[in-house]
Chains A and B, each alone.
Chain A
Amino acid sequence: MTTLLIRAPIALAPVLLFLAALVHGDSYKLVRLQTVLGLMAAGAVAAGASYVANFYLYAQFAGNFDAYARFVSPWIEEALKAALLVYLIRARRVGLPVDAGIAGFAIGTGFALIENLYYLASRPDTAIAIQVIRGFGTAIMHGGTATVLAIISVTLYERRPNGGLYLFLPGFLVAVAIHGGFNFLLVRPVLATLTTLLVLPLIIYAVFQNSDRALRDWLDQDLDSKVQLLELINSGTFLDSNAGRMLQTLRSRFRGEDLADMLCLLRLHGELALRAKGVLLMRESGMEEPPLDAETRDKLAELEQLERAIGRTGMLAVRPLMMATGKDIWQLRLLGR
């Protein structure tokens, strides 16, 4: 027990530091520490579930343990880690490669913590150096595969906001391939760890850098276009603009009051989108953001009411006018929607 208490922190600390670096590197503070801890706990639960699933499936498996670890367990473990990511991305709880990546790494870290503790406890006689190397490599691998899955999936969802579950397939297959490849190399744990350490953090770092730049560009462009939209609506010239003419083409399909609701929705969505961008700008500048004010809360409630009144078909028709991509829908979550 004492050996475990000494060895566990040595084996687990590096990956926790890597996760801390990711959270710290998120200049827009998109994922709060509390959320990271919650996601780690969810990852730990996924590890428990995968232990049970692997226990029963291995009993039915005809091959040896190495073959099972290479060809079967990666599918199960990656699927269990992905389950929460599927929810987070589809519910727009995460909307960018940065926050999706951090969520993925946190889930993977929680998963690896439990797996490593099990490994340390079940093989107390293994040399500490091997345990540390294996523990670190496994943790980076678990965090890395979930991160890669999250980043690929959230990017595909941004392109197709109304897409189905099939959008998770490419990321899932890449995660399974990396995991299986790592398990292939596990007969030589130093090589497996070194390969993982050299490749995955580099990919994650490059994606984060790119995502930060992309978010900044989007922030700039979208803020300006929302300001222009609001200027058009407030000045009463919206109906003469291209977007206004598009709205008028819906006259034949919707009632007058529905069109009025759509115009209100466009204005409200524009105002709330600007508020969300204000939050992002404050975070980026390191300013403390004020608590959500009553006016914004009322607007969020009104937005929901308008969406209900307009209905599903109306929302589909008006969405192109709102320029509502995945990020547009996600950003309102920053306001607590």
Chain B
Amino acid sequence: MSKPPFEIRLGPAGEVVMSGRLDATQCDAALQFLNAVGEPRVINLAGLEYIASAGLRVILLTQKRCKAAGAKLRLIDAAGPVFDIFHYAGFDQILEITRAGEPAGSP
């Protein structure tokens, strides 16, 4: 079975939408896209199946850039396993992140 390709695009409401597997081979493209967006406020992770450490770096660097610009980055609709990775790594303490099916802002 082939791995789902990684895709990153802008959603209808201007949010960044990620899907597939964000691993080391895709992080340059992801970072380039996010840098081009300027200050992304929301990243929808509903279609993201897997995130590797290289992907976590991309999110951290984007969060750092947003924070420096006084903006806040929100990750929404993270599927269970992806949400768990953020939680285990302690990133849910520095990022606002919601699990799929959970309303934004819930604990």
* B56 close to A (CB within 8 Å): yes
Contacts of B52 in A (CB 8 A): 220, 223-224
Q: Would you call A285 an interface residue if the criterion is a C-beta within 8 Å of the partner chain's C-beta atoms?
A: yes
Looking at the complex, which one of A220, A275, A290 makes contact with B53 (CB distance below 8 Å)?
A220
A-B Cβ contacts below 8 A, count: 60
Which size bracket describes the interface of B in this complex? 10 to 19
| Stretch touching chain B among A39-47, A240-248, A276-284 | A276-284
Interface residue from A230, A234, A274, A282 paired with B60 (Cβ < 8 Å) = A282
Q: Report which of A223, A285, A293 forms a contact with B64, defined as CB distance below 8 A.
A: A285
A197 to B38, CA, bound (A): 46
The number of residues on chain A lying at the interface, defined by a beta carbon within 8 Å of a beta carbon of chain B, is 26
Stretch from B6-14, B86-94, B97-105 forming part of the interface with A = B86-94
Name A264-289 residues within 8 Å CB distance of B: 270-271, 274-275, 277-279, 281-282, 284-289
Asked if residues B85 and A227 are in contact (CB atoms below 8 Å), the reply is yes
Report yes or no: B53 in contact with A279, Cβ–Cβ below 8 A: no
Which residues of chain A are within 8 angstroms of B60 by Cβ–Cβ distance?
A: 281-282, 285, 287
Question: Given the complex, which residues of B lie within 8 Å of A274, measured CB to CB?
Answer: 85, 88-89
Contact B53 A223 (CB under 8 A): yes
Residues of the A chain whose Cβ atoms lie less than 8 Å from the Cβ of B54: 220
Instruction: Give min CB distance, A264 to chain B, whole Å.
Output: 15
Q: Across the interface, do B90 and A278 meet the contact criterion of CB distance under 8 Å? A: yes
Please tell me if A296 contacts chain B, counting CB pairs below 8 Å: yes
Cβ of A231 within 8 Å of any chain B Cβ, yes or no, is yes
Among A270, A278, A285, A293, which residue has its beta carbon within 8 angstroms of that of B61? Answer: A285
A279 to B53, CA, bound (A): 12
Pair A296/B64 contact, Cβ less than 8 Å = no
* A219 close to B (CB within 8 Å): yes
Contact of A286 with B64 in the complex, beta carbons under 8 Å: yes
For B88, the chain A residues whose CB sits under 8 A away are 230, 270-271, 274-275, 278
Given A230-B88, A274-B89, A293-B90, are A285 and B57 neighbors across the interface (CB < 8 Å)? Answer: yes
The reply to whether B24 and A279 form a contact with Cβ atoms under 8 Å apart is no
**B4 in the interface (beta carbon within 8 A):** no
Which residues of chain B come closer than 8 Å to A224, judged between CB atoms? 52-53
Assembly CA distance A227 to B86 (angstroms): 11
Interface 1/0 per residue, B60-74 and A, CB below 8 Å? 110110000000000
Q: How far is the CB of A6 from chain B (nearest CB, A)?
A: 43
Give every chain B residue within 8 A of A227 (Cβ-Cβ). 81, 85
Tell me the complex Cα distance, A275–B57, Å.
14
CB neighbours of B81 from chain A (8 A) = 227, 231
- Give chain B's interface residues, CB within 8 Å of chain A: 24, 52-54, 56-57, 60-61, 63-64, 81, 84-85, 88-91, 93-94
Question: What are some 28 contacts across the A-B interface (CB < 8 A)?
Answer: A220-B52, A220-B53, A220-B54, A223-B52, A223-B56, A227-B81, A230-B84, A234-B84, A270-B88, A271-B88, A275-B88, A275-B90, A278-B56, A278-B88, A278-B91, A279-B90, A281-B56, A281-B57, A281-B60, A282-B90, A284-B57, A286-B64, A287-B63, A287-B64, A289-B94, A290-B94, A293-B90, A293-B93
B-binding residues in A (CB < 8 A):
219-220, 223-224, 227, 230-231, 234, 270-271, 274-275, 277-279, 281-282, 284-290, 293, 296
